[in-house]
Amino acid sequence: MKKHPHYGHVIKSRVSSALWQAIIERCQRTGETPDHVIQSALAVELDITHHTLFQVSTSTALVQGIYNGCMTVAEIKKHGDFGLGTFDELDGEGIMLDGEVWHAKSDGSVAMAAESELAPFWATTTFVPQVSCTLSAVSSWDDLCHQLDKLRSSQNIFTSICIKGVFKHIQYRVACKAEQGTDLVSATNNQAVFELNDCSGTLVGFWTPAYAKTLNVPGYHLHLLSDDKRSGGHVLSLSADNLELMLAEETDFKIALPESVEFLQADLSIDPSEALAKAEGAK
């Protein structure tokens, strides 16, 4: 495992005495380093949210069938360049990589999503890898989860995951359009399942702590986008050798809640664990 404690670039810059004084005062007050203060201030000024996971709606809302899109792709892109989600009416799977959003549909096709497309659920971050290493052999989904478990430092921090390589075998699903109000387990009973051999591509996704199960899918959640951008979906199982893995821990969490009547009146007090395991895991 290779860590990158000094990831980034060194800037030499002249600042006014007043600014310098303010930086020093902040450091003394909060215990932050000057690097951290300057980095945070620049991130705010330049609209970059560092190590922030931004999410639209909640996993329980999805379980309860709240599929009407509430945020556009254009708006989501303001909050990150990497992530996953789904589209209006649970129409397929979304993959966000290098700032581009791709829409995988249940007929097996993939197209770049229009800026105006709406998402009922999405998670995104500006991906800055903190750990990178090679996974020499992955025999199954459970094996992958087990290997990733050993690389995460805590059970309590959201983790962004990017995996690149050639998948000897990969099985993935794409949700089919569903009526608003159809619960997620019933809706994903109609999912389209695809399998590919020797697929060169990227897996994009997150690990979510168990305590956040009402907000996002607990555990590992990865979406595939093939390098030729012709295949993609929600990963169910896989095997591969020599995968390139990058991880980033996300310590800030922001959530945008829908203001639709359906969301405002839904019962979101349930425990969605069982339904999420059924809907998002292998059938």
Nearer to Zn ion, 51 or 234 (CB): 234
Work out whether strand 192-208 and strand 131-138 pair parallel, antiparallel, or are unpaired.
unpaired
Report the 10 Å Cβ neighbour count for 12.
4
Nearer to Zn ion, 105 or 234 (CB): 234
Least distance in angstroms from the C-beta of 281 to Zn ion: 10
Q: Which residue is nearest to Zn ion (CB)?
A: 234
Nearer to Zn ion, 70 or 203 (CB): 203
Least distance in angstroms from the C-beta of 93 to Zn ion: 6
* Contact indicator for 175, 62 with CB cutoff of 8 Å: no
* Contact indicator for 59, 181 with CB cutoff of 8 Å: no
Q: Binding marks (x or -) toward Zn ion, 186..225, rule CB under 5 A?
A: ----------------------------------------
* Contact indicator for 175, 90 with CB cutoff of 8 Å: yes
Nearer to Zn ion, 79 or 173 (CB): 173
Question: What is the C-alpha to C-alpha distance for residues 135 and 147, in angstroms, rounded to an integer?
Answer: 8
Q: Within 13 Å, how many C-alpha atoms sit on residue 31's CB side?
A: 0
Of residues 130-159, which lie at the interface with Zn ion (CB under 5 A)?
Answer: none
Of residues 226-245, which lie at the interface with Zn ion (CB under 5 A)?
Answer: 234
Work out whether strand 232-250 and strand 158-174 pair parallel, antiparallel, or are unpaired.
antiparallel
Question: What is the C-alpha to C-alpha distance for residues 60 and 213, in angstroms, rounded to an integer?
Answer: 8
Interface with Zn ion includes 173 (CB under 5 A)? no
Q: Please report which helix (H) or strand (E) contains residue 169, including its range.
A: strand 158-174
Extract the tokens encoding 250. Answer: 């996300």
Number of chain positions touching Zn ion (CB under 5 A)? 1
Nearer to Zn ion, 92 or 258 (CB): 92
Nearer to Zn ion, 248 or 276 (CB): 276
Least distance in angstroms from the C-beta of 259 to Zn ion: 24
Question: What is the C-alpha to C-alpha distance for residues 9 and 232, in angstroms, rounded to an integer?
Answer: 34
Least distance in angstroms from the C-beta of 234 to Zn ion: 3
Q: Which residues bind Zn ion (CB under 5 A)?
A: 234
